[in-house]
Structure 1
Amino acid sequence: MGDSSYLTVAARGHGHSLQGQSQTHGGIVINMESLMLPEMQIHVGNSSSFSYVDVSGGELWINILHETLRYGLTPRSWTDYLHLTVGGTLSNAGVSGQAFKHGPQISNVQQLEIVTGKF
């Protein structure tokens, strides 16, 4: 028979995916909302450094906006619908209404850690 049996796994945040990315036929869908993730960290820069936010892929853009506004800051580029996860929008480059001025979200990422799930 050969080794033709593969199990597909999909990570699902809030499920607003394009082309069904957060689903899999005959496989396993992992609900990423239930993960215990580190808290959001906001780093406010001074004249010689820039400000940035350190978040997990499961963080909602609306939460990032609310937290950064406390410091008088906003993300340079975010999604047009704020109840989506950072990881979900970055997986599609994060093209939005602000992209014409600051580029897509992925162009504003300084560091990204990706977990592929391959063994």
Structure 2
Amino acid sequence: MGEHSTLTVAARGHGHSLYGQSQAAGGIVIRMESLQSVKMQVHPGASPYVDASGGELWINVLNKTLKYGLAPKSWTDYLHLTVGGTLSNAGVSGQTFRHGPQISNVNELEIVTGMN
């Protein structure tokens, strides 16, 4: 690669993306499922929340929160998708009319761009 060349990098969970979002022609695709090894934590206090990585599956989030008598306010209709993948598309589902899309129920995001 030359001095001014750029390299396209795409994050890919399970590949259920819109318009090829999880692809990088001539670039690098990073499988985000590897981030599932990051410990997901449920904080069941007065304002309950979950710390989960972008590679975590919604089915795992749901199963973990149910142990505390909790569940996400809004999730996708297919739970074998990654948290980061659905949030990148707002996370519109059957619960959206009542609780908003998934992204409206996020308190904090850490976005890693790979840029210096």
TM-score (norm 2): 0.91
The 5 A counterparts of 1:76-115 are 76-115=73-112
Structure 1 residues 37-116: aligned runs within 5 Å = 37-45=37-45, 49-116=46-113
- Percent identity for Structure 1 against Structure 2: 75
Q: Deviations over 1:53-96 (max 9, x none)?
A: 11111110000111111111110000111000000000011111
CA distance in 1 between partners of 2:82 and 2:100 (Å): 18
Q: Is it true that 1:13 corresponds to 2:13 in the alignment?
A: yes
User: Within 2, Cα distance between the matches of 1:36 and 1:91?
Assistant: 17
Q: Could you list the runs of 5+ residues in structure 2 that have no partner in the other structure?
A: none
> Contact between 2:12 and 2:32, CA under 8 Å: does it hold in 1?
yes
> Which SS does the other structure have where 1:10 is aligned?
strand
- Going from structure 1 to structure 2, the CA distance change for 1:83 and 1:25 (only over 3 Å counts) comes to same
Cα 1:13–1:101, aligned 2, differ >3 Å: closer, same or farther? Answer: same
Cα RMSD over matched residues? 1.6
Question: What's the secondary structure of 1:101's corresponding residue?
Answer: helix
Aligned length: 115
* Number of the residue aligned with 1:29: 29
1: distance between equivalents of 2:14 and 2:66? 23
User: How far is 1:38 from its partner?
Assistant: 2.3
> Larger Rg: 1 or 2?
1
Give the aligned residue type for 2:104.
S
Amino acid at match of 1:43: H
* Partner AA of 1:19 in structure 2: Y
The residue type equivalent to 1:26 in the other structure is G
Query: CA 1:97 to 1:85, structure 2 compared with 1: closer, same or farther past 3 Å?
Result: same
